[in-house]
Amino acid sequence: MKIDILTLFPEMFSGVLGSSILKKAAEKKAVSYNVVNFREFSDDKHKTVDDYPYGGGAGMVLKPQPIFDAVDYLKNERNANPRVILLCPQGEKYTQKKAEEFAKEDHLIFICGHYEGYDERIREHLVSDEISIGDYVLTGGELGAMVMIDSVVRLLPGVLGNDESPIYDSFSSGLLEHPHYTRPADFRGMKVPEVLLSGNHQKIKEWRENESLYRTKSRRPDLMEKYLLEKNNNIDPLN
């Protein structure tokens, strides 16, 4: 997968992309990152990327020209038709299902905005997806892009040590994940459930499924309601 990131603050990505799973994924050639300062594409002699909004109002608005030209350049350079993702509060709320969808793509372009917002023509004529990572406002789109990139890259084949790991993550099945335990079996009198020490794989599987259902019902009843609705309508909640 190829990931291009358009931002006015490329230095924000160096630590994230150069650490942990994201770094290992690049070393394994599962993904390549390209961080682009779209200010370099401004045709203004002062390299400005924003201007006052028509009609008045507070704040500045990102101009279309630098962002359109940057995306055009990346498309031509890679000879590809990528998903172009705009990070914005008005976008579709990000979910694990969306991460799984993006993980199937060969090329993603993330546009990280700042200031008051984007010229509407960027939304209408350039991007394929508008995404929000939650119902709150950040200074810019960089942190949201980092969250999305991490969630997508870890799903790529060969990135995690065990390719089955993402299958059992919270939200992948529609439910929250079951509890985990490791050694020692008795820590300060707090003991690991006996079933996990039994070696009976069927009973362990059943215990994990029950714990997953209980945890989802008690912590996220909204997810439980959706899970049961899909199950009752003969929709496989695991897909």
Contacts of 202 (CB under 8 A, 6+ apart): none
Q: Does the annotation flag 135 for ligand binding?
A: yes
CA 69, CA 85: separation in Å to the nearest integer?
15
3-state secondary structure of 50: strand
Q: Does the annotation flag 134 for ligand binding?
A: yes
Active site residue 69: no
In this structure, what token pair is assigned to residue 116? 């008051």
Q: Does the annotation flag 136 for ligand binding?
A: yes
Active site residue 225: no
Q: Does the annotation flag 140 for ligand binding?
A: no
Cα 90 to its chain centre, rounded Å, is: 16
Sort 94 into a burial class: Cβ within 10 Å, 0-12 / 13-18 / 19+.
Answer: buried
In this structure, what token pair is assigned to residue 92? 């579709």
Active site residue 169: yes
Signed CA dihedral, 69, 74, 75, 79: sign only: positive
Active site residue 215: no
Q: Does the annotation flag 113 for ligand binding?
A: yes
Catalytic residue among 4, 154, 166, 215: 154
Contacts of 191 (CB under 8 A, 6+ apart): 185
Contacts of 98 (CB under 8 A, 6+ apart): 92, 131
In this structure, what token pair is assigned to residue 210? 């029950």
CA distances from 67 to 32, 39, 152, 176, 178 (A): 21, 8, 23, 38, 43
Catalytic residue among 105, 116, 150, 177: 116
Catalytic residue among 10, 64, 89, 237: 89
Catalytic residue among 100, 169, 177, 230: 169
Q: Does the annotation flag 111 for ligand binding?
A: no
Q: Does the annotation flag 84 for ligand binding?
A: no
Residue type, 9: F
Catalytic residue positions, numbered: 89, 116, 154, 169
Q: Which residues are annotated as part of the binding site for S-adenosyl-L-methionine?
A: 113, 133-138
Q: Which residues are annotated as part of the binding site?
A: 113, 133-138
